[in-house]
Amino acid sequence: MKKTFLLLLVFVLLVSLVGSVSAKSVKTPFTGRGAGFPIQDPDCTYPGGNEHCRGMVLLAVNDMSDDRLDGTETSTLNWNFRSVPSPVDLSGPWWGKGQIVNDAGDVIWDIKFTGERDEQGFGQLKVVAHGRGDYEGLKAFYTGLRASPFPWVPFEFSGYILEQVDG
């Protein structure tokens, strides 16, 4: 019985030591803005007066308070919009994926996003980004809001970069 208790005690101590030197998560908050424009038209269908589009390619420039997310974003956007009263005309969900490349062209974030254009025409986004290159292992989570029905108005972003550090 003493031997079992001693082994259990050693195991608990080892687990607690390993846990204290394992990686810790550090969240670095950021804000920013980004505006884009289409560089390739989507394929669209119009079932029942709605608009379903796939494959619009957008080019955007992101200006973030954390330079690690600054850069040029190329994304593919899809949406299923329904008819709503004028002047907005269309609202509904959108989604897509893309990449952000920094000014040096050597650091890439792979992004996926979902969002919605509401009945006032305002846009909301949720973005998850995974770093590559120098940012391998980093993740970024952020939201965007465009409080205007006009697509050329920039999104205002806020979120955080998550990194694992040895501790």
Q: Tell the CATH topology of 26-166.
A: AOC barrel-like (2.40.350)
Q: Spell out the per-residue pLDDT of the chain, length 167, in tens.
A: 555 444 444 444 444 444 444 568 999 999 999 999 999 999 999 999 899 999 999 999 999 999 999 999 999 999 999 999 888 889 999 999 999 998 777 779 999 999 999 999 999 999 999 999 989 999 999 999 999 988 889 999 999 999 988 75
The residues spanned by each domain of the chain are 26-166
What pLDDT is attached to residue 11?
Answer: 46
Q: How far is Cα 33 from Cα 23, in angstroms, rounded to an integer?
A: 31
Q: How far is Cα 92 from Cα 80, in angstroms, rounded to an integer?
A: 6
What pLDDT is attached to residue 161?
Answer: 97
Contact predicate 59/36, CB 8 Å: yes
Contact predicate 120/137, CB 8 Å: no
pTM listed for this prediction: 0.81
Listed in sequence order, the residues at least 6 apart from 113 whose beta carbon sits closer than 8 Å to its beta carbon are 75, 95, 96, 97, 98, 125, 126, 127, 128
First to last CA, the chain: 36
What pLDDT is attached to residue 18?
Answer: 45
Q: How far is Cα 84 from Cα 66, in angstroms, rounded to an integer?
A: 38
What pLDDT is attached to residue 20?
Answer: 46
What pLDDT is attached to residue 2?
Answer: 54
What pLDDT is attached to residue 12?
Answer: 44
